[in-house]
A and B are shown apart, each in its own frame.
Chain A
Amino acid sequence: MFLVIDRLSHTYLTKTTAVTALDDVSLSVEKGEFVSFLGPSGCGKTTLLSIIAGLIEPTEGAVLIEGEPLWSGGSDAQTARRAVGYMLQQDYLFPWKTIEENILLGLKMTRTLTAQTKERALALLAEIGLAGVESYYPSQLSGGMRQRAALVRTLATDPKLLLLDEPFSALDQQTKLKLEELVWKTLKQYEKTAVLVTHDIEEAIAMSDRIFLFSPRPGRLVRTFVIPDELRGRPPLAARQHPAFSPLFQSIWKEMEDLEAAP
Chain B
Amino acid sequence: MKPLHDRIESLHREYLAALRKERRVIRLWQTALLVAFFAVWEAASRFHWVDPLLFSSPSAIAKLFGEKLGDHSLFVHTWATLFETLLGFLIGTTGGALIGAVLWWFPRLAKTLDPYLVVFNAMPKVALGPILIVALGPGFTSIIAMGVVISIIITTIVVYSAFQEVDPNYLKVLRTFGATRYQCFKEAVLPASFPAIISTLKVNVGLAWVGVITGEFLVSKQGLGYLIIYGFQVFNFTLVLMSLLIVALLSTVMYQLVAIVEKKWGSRR
Binds A, one of B131-139, B165-173, B220-228: B165-173
CA gap between A82 and B180 in the complex, in Å: 13
A105 B177 Cβ-Cβ under 8 A: yes
CA gap between A73 and B194 in the complex, in Å: 35
A95 touching B268 in the complex, CB below 8 Å, given contacts A90-B169, A105-B187: yes
Chain A contact residues, majority secondary structure: loop
Contacts of B183 in A (CB 8 A): 109
Contacts of A88 in B (CB 8 A): 169, 172-173
A110 touching B169 in the complex, CB below 8 Å, given contacts A94-B188, A96-B194, A96-B269: no
Binding site for B on A (CB under 8 A): 53-55, 78, 81-82, 84-86, 88, 90, 92, 94-97, 105-106, 108-110, 137, 139, 157
User: Can you offer 16 A-B residue contacts whose CB atoms are under 8 A?
Assistant: A54-B176, A82-B178, A86-B176, A88-B169, A92-B170, A92-B172, A94-B188, A95-B268, A95-B269, A96-B194, A105-B173, A105-B187, A106-B177, A109-B174, A109-B178, A139-B269
**B101 interface hit (Cβ, 8 Å):** no
Contacts of B176 in A (CB 8 A): 53-55, 84-86
Interface size class of B (residues with CB under 8 A): 10 to 19
Contacts of B269 in A (CB 8 A): 95-96, 139
A92 B173 Cβ-Cβ under 8 A: yes
A94 touching B187 in the complex, CB below 8 Å, given contacts A55-B172, A88-B172, A139-B269: yes
CA gap between A139 and B269 in the complex, in Å: 7
Chain B contact residues, majority secondary structure: helix
Contacts of B174 in A (CB 8 A): 105, 109
List 4 A-B pairs, minimum CB-CB distance, nearest first: A86-B176, A109-B177, A109-B179, A106-B177
**B192 interface hit (Cβ, 8 Å):** yes
Contacts of B187 in A (CB 8 A): 94, 105, 108-109
Chain B window 147-185, contacts with chain A (Cβ cutoff 8 Å), 1 for yes, 0 for no: 000000000000000000001011011111111000100
Closest Cβ neighbor of A101 among chain B residues? B187
Closest Cβ neighbor of A109 among chain B residues? B177
B192 A96 Cβ-Cβ under 8 A: yes
CA gap between A125 and B162 in the complex, in Å: 33
B178 A96 Cβ-Cβ under 8 A: no
CA gap between A85 and B172 in the complex, in Å: 11
Contacts of A157 in B (CB 8 A): 177
B268 A96 Cβ-Cβ under 8 A: yes
Nearest chain A CB to B183 CB, angstrom units: 6
A94 B178 Cβ-Cβ under 8 A: no
Closest Cβ neighbor of A95 among chain B residues? B269
CA gap between A85 and B174 in the complex, in Å: 11
Contact residues of B between 172 and 222, Cβ < 8 Å to A: 172-179, 183, 187-188, 191-192, 194
A92 B178 Cβ-Cβ under 8 A: no
Closest Cβ neighbor of B170 among chain A residues? A92
A137 touching B178 in the complex, CB below 8 Å, given contacts A92-B170, A94-B170, A96-B192: no
Closest Cβ neighbor of A137 among chain B residues? B268
10 additional contacts (CB under 8 A) given A108-B187, A110-B177, A110-B178 = A55-B172, A85-B176, A88-B169, A92-B172, A94-B170, A94-B188, A97-B191, A109-B178, A109-B179, A139-B268
CA gap between A94 and B192 in the complex, in Å: 9
Contacts of A55 in B (CB 8 A): 172, 175-176
Contacts of B169 in A (CB 8 A): 88, 90, 92
Closest Cβ neighbor of A165 among chain B residues? B172
Nearest chain B CB to A24 CB, angstrom units: 26
CA gap between A95 and B195 in the complex, in Å: 13
Nearest chain B CB to A112 CB, angstrom units: 10
Closest Cβ neighbor of B169 among chain A residues? A92
Contacts of A90 in B (CB 8 A): 169
